[in-house]
Structure formats: structure tokens, C-alpha cells
Structure 1
Amino acid sequence: MKKRIIIFIIVAVGIAAALSRAPVQTWLVQHGEAWVLRNAEHLPLARAGEYLFDKHCASCHDNPTMHAPTREALSRLAKEDLMIAMEFGKMQPMAAHLSKQKRGLIAHYLAGSATNQYDWIADAMCEQSQNTSASPILASWGLGPENRRFISSKQTRIDANNVGDLSLAWSFAFPRVSDMRSQPAVIGDRLFVGDKAGKLFVLNRHSGCVIAHTKMISGIRSAITVATLSDSRQLLVFADSLATVYALDPNTLDIVWQRSARLNNYSVISGSISYHDDRLYVPISLFEVAAAGSPSHICCTSHGGVMALAADSGDKLWTWHASRDASLQGKNKAGQDRYGPSGAAVWSTPTIDVQRNRLYIGTGENLSAPATDTSDAVIALDLDSGDLVWKFQATAGDIWNAACLNGGANCPDNPGQDFDFGASIILADFDGRQLLLAGQKSGEVFALNPDGDDKQRVVWRKRLSQGTSNGGIHWGMALAGDSLYVPIADPERELAGYTPKPGLYALNVSDGDVLWGHPVKRNCDFDYSKRPLVGLENNRSASKVDPAELYRCSFYYGLSSAITVSDELVFSGGLDGTMRVFDRASGSVLWTDNTAVPVNASNGLAGHGGAIDVAGQIVVGEWLYVLSGYSMFGQLPGNVLLAYKIQK
């Protein structure tokens, strides 16, 4: 019976490819792919992947004289890490001749061959049944539709007087991963967290025991969003590394629906999904920015966008494209075809403006010429139709990709500086009016008028640093009252006239004046002969780094991850693994902890903390939850969730 179903799916997809009517083709491919994803564990995909590995990879990885990682060593990695290595990492030159589908099958085979790494779950399960009737406490990336990342005194009991009493209560280590990026959600006593190995865990947030768990076919990248529908049903919504959006029942973890949000083969979801009024808004970014660093890559054909889905079914309602489809523009420096326009990825989590019926996003740079007026921009869209309402471009002509890090042929003439708007736009209430607050990798903050014409769009702008491709403002600012809190990630770079200014800054929302600034510094002696290559180029490096030396002193120490603010405190994690809690009024540090250390986790595994990046901290009641570990760009790998509690 199973063989017949598989044959039916293959035939259906084949027919779809041959049909000229695009709607029919799209429907068949979409539903066939969804079935394959849902039943991947029961299909012979691993066997196909093993065949491909034997044919294309075994000559090195099964040969001890080559000193390459063995199959067993590779099987300890998450599928997403394997895909990154083949797509634009160390293995990209060797895997360049393989299609994306073949690379995916190899990764599926390797990552699926170590199921015994989850034997510990049986001992980590909760002994008593859990309450599943509670309402969401923290349900989205921005902790609200305006993306203010603010926790009120009704939601937390941690304040300036007792924050010094925080201590580690329990920890949870995730096998097979080195990056922690999926911000958890909280419903009552349950904490929902995903990892890059594709596992979704439901934990008792007071003890860390496992209430339930399930497995996706690919790594979970986005935050977990809790959507409460108009009929009172709840859904867990998130995206994986294949740009597939899932909606799960939070009580059973059954898949209610799944939907591909890909615009092209390079689409990926890096921001998180926003929910409003029975609709989901999905930001779509791309990894072609990294793939373009390969000399063999034909650059560049992908672009970013936003897709709106019906929350109850996953049906597509509309799609906004950041540029038109790319077309042949000429040749690059190596004589290869060059396509454009491209890029303008949407890295940020969409912001909802109920009053104006609008959605706000930030975009990244173009990857290839011609430049568009939608790159490095704040975009306002109509919630119902996806139509463009207005746009504000902060940096025109910013064309950049990873080839610019190695002098590659795909780097354009006169490249830009990669000044994305990666942090979510904040919708602020101030003095009887509203402002949009946007932070850019250029190190500049903008206050924009959501109304009026483009000539009156900028209310004020404030530069806090010079920024770089890995600097400035990354994943998220936070707003409390009339103060905006801005983390700066600036790494050290050998650039003329560049002075890094990593740290946390408080701005007055009315005019952008700096209320206080707290620079952060490296508190160890770093051996600069061992500094990582710049940004994405480090992912392609074949050089080996001693883990002990890496953790002894981190090259990176700025503030990249999203921050969280309460009535009295600002919570911010550093790229060196340092977790800090600042006094909101003065900027003084009230509590700190080094998370980049070995951890004997409460679930029985040996873990290790690392860089704190991407996801912000979760603060509930007397608890602080921190994800630690992020290995991209030569940062500190790690695989732990740390739960701190006020002990008095």
C-alpha cells in the first residue's frame, strides 16, 4: 500500500511539472510536498541519501588518510548544519555539482542515523500530568504585535531590588546542535522550544522535565508563535529551515497544517511569524547572500518578501515581493551570467498596526544590480491586500553579497556595506501620537512618522556607531515608556576610520538623544593571530579551531541578540556568552552570568553554553529563560536553555 502511495505522489508531481496551467501545477506540487514532509520518516529517503553519500562523499569521509569527519561524526550534526556546510560552508566546493534536493537527501540520511541520541528522553519525562488549559503568557517574538519586547510588572516579579538573587534553577541541553535561535513561547506552566535538529519540546517551565516532544523533518528556525483564533482554538506556529510553516495543536503536537512559504530555491525564514485576526504574516529572507560567495554560483536570482496565510488552514491570502523576478543582466568578472535585481531579504519579524491596518517590515541589501528602492528600507503594507502603502529607504544603492568578503567575481563594482534592517520595527506610543522606531546595521536609529507623505517621514535619526556587515543593530531593540533601548553588536574590524562601539544605549523617544550608554568590553586577552575570518567567509574556512581556546576568550563580545525590557530592567545577552541585566534608569549592570561554560544539564546530558545571539530572553514571573549558543561567523557554539529563578 505504501509503495502505491509513493508512486501516486511521484506521478502526481510529475504530471504537475508537465502541466501548463500554473495553478494546478502549484497545487499538486504543494500538496505532494506536504505529504512527503509529513511522512518522511516512513519513506525510503534515507536509503536514497545513503546511495548519494556512497557515490559522492564516501571516498573522503570513509578514508582515514583524508582526515575528514567520519559518517559517525557527521551523524551527530543537525540536518540544518549539514545543509549549511554543503550550501555555503566548508563543503560547498565539493557539493556544488549536486542539486539542492540531492544535498537534502544526504543531510536527511546522515542526520537521521543517530536516533539513539534521544534515548535520554524517557528518563526526562514529567511524572505527573500537566495542566493544558492555561492562556498564553508569552506568545510571540516581539512580546506583542507592536514588537516592543516589553514585559510589565504584572508579568514578572523580577525587579531592581531582587534581580541579584537570580541563580540557575535548571538547564536543558539539546543534542546534535550548536546554535540556539528559536525563541520559546509560554502557555501557563508549559514552555515550547524548538531546535535546529527539528525537535520541538514542551517543557514544564518550573522543573525542565519533558511534557511532550515531536520531530519535524528540518530544523526549527523561527520563534514559536501562539495564535489564538477567533473560535478560541490555539495553534503553535513556526517555520523550519526549508521555509515550511507549520501549525500544531499545542496539546497534542499534531500537525494541523503545513505550508511552503518559499518564493524560490534560496528562500528561508529568519524572522518570526506574526499573528493578527486569524491571519499569519510570514517574513521571507534568503541564503543566496552566502551562496554567492562561491565562485561557481550564478548570482543572483532570489529576493525577499512577505506571505500572508489563513491561520486556520494555511491557505495563501497574498504575497508581497521585494523586487521583480531577476533577469539576465550581463556577465560577472569571471564571464559567468549575472542576474538581477535580487536581494532585499526580509530578516525582521513583521509589526502589526491595527489602527492603520498596516504591517511594517525592514529589508536587507540587494545582492546584484540593478539596485531597487525596496532594499535597506522600512516598508508599510496593507494588512488585507499586501499592497505597498509607502516605503522609506535609508541606504540607496547598497549592493553586496558574500563574494565581497573574498574578492569573488560575484561581488559588484563599488559594493555597498550590507546595511540591513534586521531588527523588527517598533510601533511606539508617545505624547499622544505614534512613531515607528527602526534600527539598522549601519548603527543608526530612525524615528519615522507612520502618517503623512514621504517628505515628512523622518522625525529624527541618531547614529550610535558606524556599523559593519556584522555590526550595528541586529535582532531587536526594546521600548519601555518614553525610552528606547538599543543593543550594538560592532565587532573589531580592520577598516579605515572604523571604531567599534559595542554596548547598550538608551535613547529618548521624543528626539533620539542618548540618555545613557554602557559600552561592553572583552574581559580576556585574545590572540589576534587566531581571529576568525570576516562574517560569512568564516563559515567556508577549513581551518580547525581548538574549542578550549575558542571558549577561553571569544573574539566577539558585542550585543547582537534581541533584548527584553521590563518596568525597571533591561535583559541583554552578549556574543561572548555574558548575560547581563541592566538598571533601566541608569544603565548600571545589576546582575551578570557567564553562560559560555560546560553545563551538566538537568535532562542528563552534558551541554555547553556559547554566544547569545538572535533570540531574546524570556521573562515570566520570577523566572528568566536564556538560550545560549550560536556558532555562525566563528562565534561560540552552544546547545543549552538556562532557567534562572529568584531564590529568595
Structure 2
Amino acid sequence: MQDSGWRYRGGLALITAAMLITAVQAATPPAEHARFADDNDGRDWAAWGRSFSEQRYSPLDQINRDSVDRLGLAWSLDFDDVWNVSSQPLAVDGVIYTAVGYSRIYAIDARSGTVLWQYDPKVESRKMRMAWGSRGLAYWEGKIYAGVQDGRLFALDAKSGERLWETQTTEPGDNRYITGAPRVFNGKVIIGHGGADFGHVRGYVTTYDANTGEQLWRWWVVPGNPADGFENAAMEMAAKTWTGNWWEFGGGGTVWNAMTYDPEYNRIYLGTGNGSPWNHKLRSPEGGDNLFLCSVVALDADTGEYLWHYQTTPGETWDFNSTMDMVLADVRLDGEDRKVLMHAPKNGFFYVLDREDGALISAEKIDKVTWAERVDLDTGRPVEVPGARYESGEALIWPGSGGTHNWHPMAYSPDTGLVYIPARHMPGYYNDEGRTPQNWQMKPGDVLGLAGFYDDIPKNAGSTSLLAWNPLMQTEAWRNPTPGATAGGVIVTRGGLVFQGRADGDFVATDAATGEEVWRAFMGVGTQAPPMTFEVDGVQYVSILAGWGGATALLGSLSAQHGWVGRQYPRRLLTFALDGNATLPPSPPPIDKVEPIDDADFIIDPVKAEQGKHLYSTCVICHGTAAVAGGYAPDLRASPVALSPEAFKAIVQGGALESRGMPRFDEYTDAELEALRHYIRERARHQPSVWDQIKQAWDFIVLLIKMQWAKYS
């Protein structure tokens, strides 16, 4: 098979320097362009990454190392009946805009916390099952842009909240959904989608007119059926790196998070997602790099024409997305000024690329990585470790599918020259249980092409840290342990501070140069949302959404250890300023341990419980692995609803609690509902024995021995 290479393809992207200069000069940017192109004006936080560079660096310094001890709560706003607050708010001209839950938009006076207006797009019920929520908004020329879980993109008037236009970016009934923030540039708004982990999906991004919603161009990430022809030369090239009938599974490659606009080259960089199914040998049986999965792809911002790509994980088979943020910077490297793109995808390496042509400058591990020894700088390709592709049927890999760095954004400070990364240290277990291209079919319950995971995830299964990384030296500057296995996104300021919300409920400021913690405040609940900072009337504010939900909830005891289990915990927006003296509203203390309830007369049928275990896979995102809840949704082991067949049916099948975020599953039969109840009762009574714990430890040791034997044999 032809490999993907690591430099752009000259035949497809032969663009001379003169042509680039002419193209950039010919495009007269609109007046709004300056708001996002100027990294030195910190009054607003008007985009997901604050500016086009997505450095998440603020030039404000009123709050600094010396004054931060005066930082206090200025005001707070609690949201009722909202299950997820993972978004980073925007602040424009004294108004905060934020998306909570299923893209419910609030406009809030930044000085007082008074709600000015709100808009609810009323997401379609079936799409509520992908319970990630909105991660961010976009602003452009008096309009707020947001994507919706059910695939819609809409624009609102920023002053009134009136809907100006709306368009459906996906096909009705498909597996696609939107959680990421749109990006706006040159009067255009671009959006991708998720869904490659839930069934047949072929990824794409679409660009629309920011004023009217008219579609301008669409770029597919992976090739479709060759018999149907290719949309462009890039797809024809990519098809040479796939084998088998990959299009029958969709292929994946969704752009669900990272997109960065480069005004100097008038390009949009895409961070692309994993394959569908995950298992490479099933989707591409004879090998191949599978372009453009897990790549950074540069497109012409006006036309969507392919320019260059760099693939971080060729032929990926571990869910190693490259959909993590891409930061643009001008640096001095080896005595030369370079325009670079910095990227820390899931796979555990930190990459520095030349923005002009995509050439790899450097790549190094930022944490434990066992799937590859290194990245070869001559070829740009990872040097893989034998056995990492679970060729023998199973493998334990660092990092796991959660990645060393996930969507929680990192930040770059031009003052310190460091990148600040919310890093995760957690392995992943992969086992395809004898699946082959001949005997496997993609179907509900077996979408990934891997063995299902049904056991609880213990609280010590993973850890996190705040990592300060020198991107030019490719070395660690400092690292601070953070609570749990989910670390909140970060920002950095000219005041020399890194701000981060944490899983234990603390909002923390750290000295950007030394790593010393210099300030903390309790939020009343944990968070994974990134903060932001802005200025109004000469006062610098810092705001953050606090609330425990999203993907954190599915990790069982790993998430539940923080105690934020159930709807009683707040979802709130907190805003801080120097000498702020507001009182934090009360919130319940975290739960030490969930106590299951049971009906002693209920006789568990093992056959029904086993059937229910597999049906429960649709419940994991909200109610947690092995029915151990770790977030907003109730722990079903302790819920009286599961004891009543009538109440259980009314809620699960009938949608009685849709208004509170519990979607309707009307496709379940009464027999399937009964099987689910048997599984929940089995989990409520489950008590790991000493023998279970010994066996798990022994299985783990045997797996490690197998891994080492495969590596050196």
C-alpha cells in the first residue's frame, strides 16, 4: 500500500509563495477580523480559543502573581435542570454568552450576572442519548453561533436572542451529532460533527455564509465508495491508502472539536478523528494508512481545497483522535523565525509542525507511551511496538482511548514559551476476541469491532496532571498532580497565571513560570470546563462554568470518587474579580458512597441479567459503567424507580422525564425493560469477593507478561 507520507502532496497543492501572497492580499478581511487577529487586545473573549491563534492566552494582567490573593467571587448564577456545563463561555462588549445542556444559550450581564435573554433550540429527543452537551460557541458581527446535538447549526442576534437562521448540517436519522464550537472567519462559519463511535459515519466539515446560513463548501475527511466517484483529487489520493470495503462502515474521521483558522495563510486546519470501526484490521483488512484519519489537514479557507496534511497515527486502531486543539505561534527556533502549529493529540506525543507546508519539526512523548517507541523525524511516522495492534488478540496500551490529552484545551504563553496541558495517565485494554473481516459485521452493540467492557472502572485506574511543556526543547518544565482522571481545560495570562477548574471542586491559579499554586477557591462542585477572562470598565474578570457531567459520568467509580453523583449538585457560572466579596450559594457536600437499595423478594434471572448487561450499553454515557453513576444522572442501583416496573417503563419507554434530560427509549420492548431491571438488581447486589480481586490482579499480571514477551520475542 502507498503510505500517507508526512509532507503535503505537491501535485495536489502546488502553491507558490507568490500565489499565497496574492491570495491573501486579494481577500480584504471584514472589520470584525481585527477582533480575532489581535492577540494584544484582551478586553473580549470572543471565540473558543479567544483569538484566531487559539493560544488561550490573555494579555490582561490586572490579576497577577502579586494581586491574585485578593481574587474573590464577584457573582454567581445557578442553572436549573441543566445536566451538563462543559462549555467555555464567551465575553463580548460586557456580555457573557454561554451554552449549557443541549445548547441552551444564555446572555448574561458581565458586571452583575443578570440574565438578559435565553434561547432553547429544543433538541430532538433521540439525539439526547449522545449526552455530551455543547462545548462552545462562536461570535461574529453581532451574532452568536451554536451547534446542536441533533445536527443543527443556528445563528442568534447577540442583543435580543432572536434566531436569525438555522440549517441542518447532518442527515435526519444518521449517527452524526454536534458538540464542538463552530469557528467563524472571513464571514464564514465552519462546523464538523461527531458520531464515528456509534455506527456508520463518514466524517466531513461544512462551511456556511455567516449572515445567511447558505452552504458554501463541504470537505469529506475519508473517501467514499470508489464506484460513486470521488468528490476531489484529495479523496482519490486517500482511497489508495484504504483496503477492503471500508465505505460499508463509514470510515469515521469526524472533526468534532479542533478547527483553527490561520489568517496569515488564509487556511483552516482540521484536527480529524478516529476510524470507524476502531479496529483497523476490520475496516481496512489489507492494511493502509487510512487518510485522513487522525491527521492535521490544511484547507484553503475560501474554497475548501486540500493543501497539505500530517498524519499523527497512520492506520490508527486505538481511538487516537487528532481532534485536540491546534495552537498557532511565531517562534524563534535554531536561530530562525518559524510559523508553527503545536498539537498534543490523544496518542501521547507533542508535535510541532511548520504551518507553511506541514513539515514535521519535532515530536516527543509527554507521558507514558507504549504503542510506539518514537516518531522518526525523517519519515514523520511513528515507530510502532510489536503487539501494540493487539495482533495476538489483546493488548494493554498507554495511553488508552481517553488519550494523554483529550478535548480539554491546552494554552500557550508567549511570555514563558511554555504550553500548559491538562494531561491524563491511563492505559487502555484492547481485545477483538477473534473478530475477523470474514466473520464481523457492524451492528448495535458491536460498533467498534472490539470486545465490550462491562466492569466497573476503579478510582485508581487513572490520574491527571497539569503539565508545563517546552515545545521548542520538547522537554517538561514542571508537572503538578491534579485530582482524579479528568482534568479541566486551562487558560494562561500575562499576569503569569494558569487557571484551571478541577474535579474536586477547586478553581486554582498556578504560577505559569514555576508551577507554584498561588490561589484557590471552592466552586461547590467539580468541573471539566475551561475558564476564560475578560475586561469591562477597566476591571478584569475570570469566569468558569462548574458542574459535573458529560463524558466524565461514564467512568464508574473513577468519576464517582469525587462524590458529585445526582441532580442535587449545582450547575453554575462563577465570575471572579479582585476584591470580589459575593457569597457562594450553598450546595450539598459530596457523597462518600452510594448505598444501593434492593427488594429482597426480587429474584434475579441470570439469563435476563446477562441480556440486560448488553442493553445497558446505551445507558452507560449517563448512568455510568457497570451501573456505577459518576455524574448528574442518578445511580440506578440506588434509585427506587428501578424497583417499580410501571415507573421504569413510564420513564425509559414513555419519556416521562424528558424535560429533565432523560431521553425516551421507545424501541425497547417490555421484555427488554425487564432484562434491564434484572441487570440493575444484579449490580445493586454485586459485592466483589476477595477471589474476584485476586483474579483481576492475576489477569493484569499475565497481560503485562504477554506484552513484554511480545515486545522482545
User: TM-score category by the smaller chain?
Assistant: 0.5 to 0.7
Once the two structures are TM-superposed, the CA of residue 491 in structure 1 deviates from its matched residue by 5.5
Q: In 2, are the aligned partners of 1:269 and 1:285 still within 8 Å (CA)?
A: yes
Residues 213 and 560 of structure 1: CA distance in aligned 2, closer, same or farther (over 3 Å): closer
Q: Does 1:165 align with 2:165?
A: no
CA distance in 1, matches of 2:330, 2:210: 28
- Which sits farther off after the overlay, 251-260 or 511-520? 511-520
Q: 2: distance between equivalents of 1:517 and 1:490?
A: 12
Match of 1:247 among 124, 146, 155: 155
Shift >6 Å, 4+ stretches: none
SS in 2 for 1:285: coil
Q: Does 1:212 align with 2:140?
A: no
The aligned counterpart of 1:194 is 99
The equivalent position to 1:643 in structure 2, one of 557, 562, 575, is: 575
- Alignment partner of 1:390 is 2:298: no
How far the C-alpha of 1:577 sits from its partner, in A, is: 3.0
What does 1:35-54 align with in structure 2 at a 5 Å threshold? none
Normalising by structure 2, what TM-score? Answer: 0.55
The letter for the 2-side match of 1:559 is A
TM-aligned CA distance change 1:468 to 1:488, over 3 Å? farther
Q: Which residue of 1 aligns with 2:360?
A: 457
* Separation in 1, partners of 2:351, 2:368: 13
Superposition map of 1:512-527 within 5 A: 512-520=474-482, 522=483
CA-to-partner distance for each residue in 1:292-320, whole Å, 9 max, x for gaps?
xxxxxxxx420222111111111111011
Match of 1:39 in 2: none
Q: Quote the RMSD (CA, aligned, Å).
A: 2.8
Q: Which residue of 1 aligns with 2:422?
A: 488
> Is residue 2:221 matched to residue 1:322?
yes
Are 2:108 and 1:235 equivalent residues in the alignment? no
Letter of the structure 1 residue corresponding to residue 471 of structure 2: V
For residues 68-110 of structure 1, give each alpha carbon's deviation from its aligned partner in whole angstroms, at most 9, with x where no partner exists: xxxxxxxxxxxxxxxxxxxxxxxxxxxxxxxxxxxxxxxxxxx
Contact 2:109 2:115 in 1 (8 A): yes
**1:214 corresponds to which letter in structure 2?**
Y
Residues 380, 389 of structure 1: 8 Å contact kept: yes
**Aligned with 1:164: secondary structure?**
helix
* Identity rate, percent: 22
Change (3 A) 1:321 1:426: same
**1:459 maps to amino acid:** S
Conserved in 2, the CA contact under 8 Å of 1:487 and 1:563? no
CA distance in 2, matches of 1:510, 1:367: 34
**Compared with structure 1, are the counterparts of its residues 511 and 177 closer, same or farther at alpha carbon in structure 2 (3 Å cutoff)?**
same
Secondary structure of 2:193's counterpart equals strand
1:509 and 2:471 correspond? yes
Q: 1:136 to 1:506 in 2, by over 3 A?
A: closer
Alignment of 1:45-444 (within 5 A): 137-153=44-60, 156-218=61-123, 221-228=134-141, 234-262=142-170, 265-286=174-195, 288-289=196-197, 291=198, 300-325=199-224, 339-368=248-277, 369-370=283-284, 372-398=290-316, 416-431=317-332, 432-444=337-349
The match for 1:610 among 526, 533, 537 is 526
Q: 1:372, 1:364 → 2: CA distance? A: 12
Q: Give the whole-Å Cα distance in 1 for the aligned partners of 2:322 and 2:502.
A: 20
Query: Aligned partners of 2:532, 2:185: CA distance in 1, in Å?
Result: 23
Distance between the aligned counterparts of 1:190 and 1:207, measured in 2?
Answer: 10
Give SS of 2:69's match: helix
Give how far 1:270 is off.
2.6
- Contact 2:502–2:526 (CA<8 Å) still a contact in 1? no
Q: Are residues 307 and 419 of structure 1, via their aligned partners in 2, closer, same or farther at CA, if it must alter by over 3 Å?
A: same
Residue equivalent to 1:477: 410
Q: Tell me if structure 2 keeps the 8 A contact 1:487–1:560.
A: no
Matches of 1:302 and 1:164, distance apart in 2: 50
Q: Secondary structure at the match of 1:622?
A: strand
Q: Residue type of the partner of 1:480?
A: S
Q: Quote how far apart the aligned CAs of 1:148 are.
A: 0.8
Contact 1:443–1:488 (CA under 8 A) maintained in structure 2: no
What is the CA-CA distance between 1:365 and the residue it aligns to? 1.0
- Residues 136 and 312 of structure 1: is their aligned pair in 2 closer, same or farther, counting only changes over 3 Å? farther
Structure 1: which 5+ residue stretches go unaligned?
A: 1-134, 229-233, 292-299, 329-336, 399-415, 523-555, 598-608
CA distance in 2, matches of 1:585, 1:192: 31
Counterpart-to-counterpart distance in 2, 1:360 and 1:338: 24
Residues paired across the two proteins, number: 422
Would the alpha carbon gap of residues 558 and 485 (structure 1) be closer, same or farther in structure 2, given more than 3 Å must change?
Answer: farther
Other-structure match for 2:497:
569
How far residue 152 of structure 1 moved from its aligned partner, in angstroms, is: 0.4
SS of equivalent to 1:339: helix
- Between the aligned partners of 1:204 and 1:351, the Cα distance in structure 2 is 29
1:589 maps onto 2:589 in alignment? no
Is the Cα–Cα contact under 8 Å of residues 610 and 630 in structure 1 kept in the other structure?
yes
What do the CA deviations read for 1:381-418 (whole angstroms, capped 9, x no partner)? 111111211111111222xxxxxxxxxxxxxxxxx221
Change over 3 Å in CA distance of 1:484–1:363 after alignment to 2: farther
Give the drift of 1:619.
4.5
1:278/1:302 Cα in 2 relative to 1: closer, same or farther (>3 Å)?
A: same
Quick one: distance in 2 between partners of 1:562 and 1:373?
31
Listed as ranges, the gaps of 5+ residues in structure 2 are 1-41, 228-245, 278-282, 370-398, 431-459, 554-558, 581-713
Give the Cα–Cα distance (whole angstroms) in 2 for the partners of residues 326 and 477 of structure 1.
Answer: 37
The 1:429/1:181 distance shift into structure 2, 3 A limit, reads: same
Residues 1:341 and 1:186: Cα distance change in structure 2 (over 3 Å): same
Q: Write the letter of the residue equivalent to 1:345.
A: T
Alpha-carbon separation, structure 1, partners of 2:53 and 2:160: 30
Q: How far 1:562 sits from its partner (Å)? A: 4.5
Superposition deviation, residue 338 in structure 1: 9.4
Distance 2:296 2:322 in 1: 8
TM-score (norm 1): 0.61
What is the distance in 2 between the residues matched to 1:417 and 1:515? 29
Whichever residue aligns with residue 639 of structure 1, its letter is R
Contact kept, 8 Å, 1:235 with 1:249, in 2: the verdict is yes
Distance 1:499 1:174, change over 3 A: closer
In structure 1, distance between residues paired with 2:510 and 2:121: 37
Distance in 1 (CA, whole Å) between partners of 2:576 and 2:177 is 32
**3-state secondary structure, aligned to 1:641:** strand
Alignment partner, residue 622 of structure 1: 540
Contact 2:469 2:475 in 1 (8 A): yes
1:537-576 correspondence to structure 2 within 5 Å: 556-576=484-504
Amino acid across the alignment from 1:511 = M
Q: How far apart in 1 are the matches of 2:465 and 2:247?
A: 39
